[in-house]
Structure 1
Amino acid sequence: MTFEERGGTTLVTWHDLYPSKAALDEALVTGATSGFGEQFDQLEDILSGLDTGCA
C-alpha cells in the first residue's frame, strides 16, 4: 500500500500480488477480495478523526 499526497489530498494505492492467475481467480470466486471497499471506508473514518495539527 502506498500513500501519496496530491494537492492536499492523499492518493492510496493498494498493491495485491497473487502467485498465479489461478490463485487470483480463486480469491475472486471465494469472495476473499470483497472486503476491500469496507476496509478503505473504515480507514477513511479513522484518518478523518485524527488531529494532525495541520491547518
Structure 2
Amino acid sequence: MEEFTWLVEAEAKEDYEREQVIYRLFGGEKKLADLLKKAEGPLRKQLALLVKEG
C-alpha cells in the first residue's frame, strides 16, 4: 500500500500538524468526512484513520 503512505504519516502527526495536513489535502475535516462516505476499499480504511473520533 505504498500509495497510501502519506495517510499513515498524517495520522501519526501531532493534532495541530494533522489538522494542517487535512486542511491542505482535503479542505477541512467536514470535506474529509464527506469523502470518507464516498470512498471504498483500502482508501476508505486509510481515510477513516484520519477522521477524529469524538
Q: Same fold (TM over 0.5)?
A: no
Higher CA-based Rg: 1
Task: Please identify which structure carries the higher strand content.
Answer: 1
User: What TM-score do you get using the length of structure 2 for normalisation?
Assistant: 0.29
User: What TM-score do you get using the length of structure 1 for normalisation?
Assistant: 0.29
Task: Please identify which structure carries the higher helix content.
Answer: 2
